[in-house]
């Protein structure tokens, strides 16, 4: 449901003069606008004395205002077009018919990189005809490289931010998967061979795009947004953390799901995983890893044995045997490994081998350096270990190689290393790089600098600082949902970060940050879990109504063992505890304790 129209706010003459100067200063065409056209554009914008969801003048329609936006000096905007009844397929949600809006595309800072590739920061902006006065920044994913939908996915079952009346922007983080794609140098990750493109990917493009979007919104509607929000998962989660830490003045509320805050270190862990499970896929005499064999190192029956053992060992630790391990912190190696060892037997169709148990133990333990110190966090044992989403990253499947091979084996040499290394973007080449990599010495590579790369990959791309001084000072709010069975970014890393923030700020932490573990959930979605939840409404109510999210109600999807089951997601260190009465399928019978 859309927010009612906002009352008109008169535009001061200084704003009109600012727009007029901006038109001449920032017009992207080959020549400055003729004086009469500049005056006309300024007059159009000055006509925005009416409510922002109404036409700014009787003589101009919303569609005409949309088409005139690039000429009005919006930073980097190249084209804009009115859209009605446009359908978009969302990344984590069903397709949606979008409301009438102005769709615009822009580029910032076009340049030639040191690798002779052409770069620019591309962004995608949608401005609804019925604006609610708010701004939404849509996070990216993976290595980015595409400008995104700019619709603002707010959850699998929720209307998009655009449908809710938000002005929405998305961006490619400074490189294009179409233009910057060298198959001999990690393919779409080849932008990592350019230091500026690498820094834009890590964080630098974020503020530039946000500033450009807000400038365009202000010029289009005649007023700046009342509230601004960011929402993303994975790399998008890392972007949300980067905003809170590096650019705290931009957003009132941030939802940073499954944040890749330690991306370079997590990439080292990916390579170590490949090495551990490769031992199960390679036979004596093999000199290389066939990625297709990696997907077959566990049979379906062995995966069932693994999951059943974990559930029997840890399900009751939260006081209820329901297939959900709420007390996941207590599900440790000391509990699980002895039970898995008991599943080693001669029945190859059902039992685990001792080598499989060892590979699982080493994988979940996380990588260490040559001093035996952790490089990255360990993973908890959980019901989603072995789920399809978990296998997609760790092992792969019949349709695709393991993402740990394809992303870890291409992103690490191109994006996280100084100097960058050219590795062909094939499963075989990525697997060979992963097997040969010395993970124990990997920290030196991600922390290295050079005359060309004056900042390290860790400095450019990590977003793990406990310093939230600026974000707290502006009253910002941050919600961090994270799947306990996430196979690529460990929830233990997120919880360790939360502990560091709490050590810095004490009880003040609770008024700014809430981390919500999602038991059973894999990376961003999936797994035997209640993974359908509305963190976006929670963040807006926290920001605008000061309603602290003490729980977020979540529902299990149709592909889980218990469709429609509901549970409260609880802010760590609390967990959902059954009160002893009523159906265990109903969240109302659980409390966060």
Instruction: Give the residue carrying structure tokens 């094939």.
Output: 426
Measured CA to CA, the distance from residue 50 to residue 219 in angstroms comes to: 13
Q: How far is CA 16 from the centre of its chain?
A: 38
Q: How far is CA 507 from the centre of its chain?
A: 27
Residue 193 annotated to the active site: no
Work out the number of other CB atoms within 10 angstroms of the CB of residue 189.
30
Catalytic residue among 172, 194, 382, 486: 486
- In sequence order, what are the residues at sequence separation of 6 or more whose Cβ sits closer than 8 angstroms to the Cβ of residue 29? none
Residue 322 annotated to the active site: no
List C-alpha distances in Å: 352 to 105, 304, 337, 347, 542. Answer: 53, 10, 12, 8, 47
Measured CA to CA, the distance from residue 127 to residue 74 in angstroms comes to: 13
Measured CA to CA, the distance from residue 494 to residue 488 in angstroms comes to: 12
Q: Which DSSP letter does residue 572 get? A: T
Catalytic residue among 269, 523, 529, 572: 523
List C-alpha distances in Å: 156 to 94, 344, 524, 534. Answer: 7, 40, 11, 9
Tokens of 356: 């499989």
E-strand ranges in 484-534 read: 513-518, 532-533
Catalytic residue among 234, 326, 363, 485: 234
Work out the number of other CB atoms within 10 angstroms of the CB of residue 158.
18
Residue 486 annotated to the active site: yes
Burial (Cβ within 10 Å: 0-12, 13-18, ≥19) of residue 77: buried
Measured CA to CA, the distance from residue 100 to residue 129 in angstroms comes to: 6
Cite the active site residues: 234, 486, 523
């Amino acid at each position: 449901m859309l927010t009612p129209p906002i009352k008109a706010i008169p535009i001061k003459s200084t704003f009109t003069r600012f727009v007029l100067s901006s038109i001449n200063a920032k017009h992207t065409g080959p020549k400055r606008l003729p004086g009469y056209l500049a005056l006309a554009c300024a007059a159009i914008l000055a006509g925005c004395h009416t409510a922002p969801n109404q036409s700014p003048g009787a003589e101009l329609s919303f569609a005409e205002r949309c088409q005139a936006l690039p000429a009005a000096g919006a930073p980097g905007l190249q084209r804009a077009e009115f859209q009605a009844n446009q359908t978009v397929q969302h990344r984590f949600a069903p397709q949606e018919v979008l409301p009438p809006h102005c769709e615009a595309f822009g580029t910032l800072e076009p340049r030639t990189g040191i690798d002779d590739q052409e770069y620019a920061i591309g962004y995608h902006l949608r401005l609804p005809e019925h604006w609610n006065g708010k701004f939404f920044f849509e996070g990216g994913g993976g290595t980015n490289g595409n400008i995104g939908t700019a619709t603002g996915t707010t959850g699998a079952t929720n209307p998009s931010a655009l449908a809710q009346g938000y002005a929405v922007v998305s961006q490619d983080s400074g490189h294009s998967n179409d233009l910057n794609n060298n198959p001999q140098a990690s393919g779409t990750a080849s932008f990592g061979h350019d230091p500026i493109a690498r820094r834009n990917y890590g964080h630098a493009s974020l503020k530039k795009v946000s500033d450009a979007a807000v400038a365009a919104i202000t010029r289009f509607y005649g007023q700046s947004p009342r509230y601004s929000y960011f929402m993303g998962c994975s790399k998008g989660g890392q972007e949300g953390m980067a905003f809170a830490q590096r650019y705290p003045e931009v957003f009132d509320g941030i939802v940073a799901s499954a944040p890749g805050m330690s991306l370079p270190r997590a990439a080292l862990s990916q390579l170590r995983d490949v090495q551990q499970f490769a031992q199960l896929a390679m036979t004596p005499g093999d000199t290389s890893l066939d990625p297709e064999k990696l997907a077959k190192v566990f049979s379906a029956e062995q995966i069932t044995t693994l999951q059943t053992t974990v559930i029997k060992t840890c399900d009751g630790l939260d006081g209820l045997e329901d297939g959900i391990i709420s007390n996941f912190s207590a599900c440790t190696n000391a509990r699980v490994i002895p039970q898995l060892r008991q599943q080693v037997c001669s029945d190859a169709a059902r039992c685990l081998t001792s080598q499989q148990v060892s590979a699982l133990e080493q994988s979940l333990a996380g990588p260490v350096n040559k001093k035996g110190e952790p490089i990255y966090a360990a993973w908890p044992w959980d019901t989603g270990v072995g789920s399809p989403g978990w296998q997609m990253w760790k092992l792969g499947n019949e349709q695709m190689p393991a993402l740990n091979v394809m992303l870890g084996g291409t992103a690490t040499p191109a994006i996280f290393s100084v100097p960058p290394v050219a590795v062909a973007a094939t499963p075989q080449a990525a697997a060979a790089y992963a097997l040969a990599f010395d993970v124990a010495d990997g920290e030196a590579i991600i922390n290295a600098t050079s005359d060309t790369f004056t900042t390290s990959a860790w400095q450019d791309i990590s977003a793990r600082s406990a310093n939230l001084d600026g974000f707290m000072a502006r009253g910002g709010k941050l919600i961090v949902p994270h799947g306990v069975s996430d196979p690529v970014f460990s929830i233990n890393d997120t919880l360790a970060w939360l502990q560091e923030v709490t050590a810095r700020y004490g009880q003040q932490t609770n008024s700014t940050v809430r981390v919500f573990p999602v038991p059973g959930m894999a990376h961003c979605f999936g797994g035997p879990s209640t993974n359908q939840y509305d963190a976006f409404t929670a963040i807006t109510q926290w920001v605008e109504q000061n309603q602290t999210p003490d729980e977020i109600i979540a529902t299990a999807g149709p592909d889980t063992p218990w469709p429609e089951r509901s549970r409260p997601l609880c802010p760590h260190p609390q967990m959902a505890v059954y009160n002893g009465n009523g159906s265990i399928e109903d969240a109302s019978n659980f409390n966060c304790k």
